[in-house]
Amino acid sequence: MKAKVFEIKKFAVHDGDGIRTTIFFKGCPLKCVWCHNPEGLSSKTQLAYYSHKCINCFECVKICPNNAHIINNGIHEYVAKNCINCGKCEEICLGNAIKIYGKDYTVDELLKIVLEDKVFYDNSGGGVTLSGGECLLYANFIKDLFIKLKNHGINTAVDTCGFIGKDQIDKIIDYTDVFLYDFKAYTSKTHKNCTGQSNDIIIKNLEYLDKKGKNIEIRIPYVPNYNDFEIEDMIKYLNGIKNITKIRILPYHNFSTAKYQSLNYENTMPSVVPTNEEIENIKNTLRKISIHKIVD
């Protein structure tokens, strides 16, 4: 069994408690307008070409077996339709302008990587976090990985959008120490406008995890003009979820603009970014109405 991963981040400190290794899986059932990991949307391997980094060394042109890289009027040009994602160009690119997103791993291959830093997990109260995309699209794979991690005494976390089947949750629930749960909007209408899907399933799954007594860390993206007007209603609803350990307000940023261009995606990222003062004000407001801890 294999799963497709687009990034492995070591020494992560924002994806659960302590020092962690975060593994990002490809494929997502939502399409958030503010998505900062567009390379995780598709479940397929993709080549990203960052044209602003290209130094026109033409090494990729020499090595490409399928004419996906050509010279046009003395300038490098990437022809996506010819690409077979072999990765040869990424290995030889002198300007780091080419990146392959999506590599297949077995459970044992990932286990070997994360065990390299077990001493840091043990000393910091950290562990391993699975993210995406939506990692629970690979629930059978994750179950096998988590069982082996538990055999090594490693803390496990799942970062999920919640838009998945209850059967997928059931496969991994007994081996997951904490769920980092995205809560993007209060009403179904707003959620569909922001992500393309209703949040009915997401709310049902959240309430199911709470009923099962699982530790839940809520993550709320704060995006002006998209979900900011529902933040207080979201907090009031979350007051009814008893097993929430903390709530994080995640300020929207548009740092990923170049990723959209590199993948030839339409850039849907909003233009308005919240100020630091705005974020602090909303946190102070939410702390007055939330029974749960609002953390920085």
Q: What confidence tens digit (pLDDT) does each residue in 231-265 have?
A: 999 999 999 999 999 999 999 999 999 999 999 99
Write the CB contacts of 6 (distance below 8 Å, at least 6 apart in sequence): 24, 25, 26, 39, 40, 101, 102, 103, 133
Q: What are phi and psi of 68, to 5 degrees?
A: -80, -20
Final residue in a domain of this structure, among 101, 122, 147 = 101
- Do residues 173 and 40 touch, judged by C-beta distance below 8 A? no
119 and 94 in one domain? no
207 and 89 in one domain? no
232 and 91 in one domain? no
Predicted local confidence at residue 50, as pLDDT: 96
Tokens 């003062």 locate to 277
Low-confidence ranges of the chain (pLDDT < 50): none
Predicted local confidence at residue 111, as pLDDT: 98
Predicted local confidence at residue 296, as pLDDT: 83
Range of the domain at 64: 46-101
139 and 71 in one domain? no
We report the CATH number of the domain holding residue 78 as: 3.30.70.20
Q: For residue 224, with 0-12 CB atoms within 10 Å meaning exposed, 13-18 middle and 19 or more buried, which class applies?
A: middle
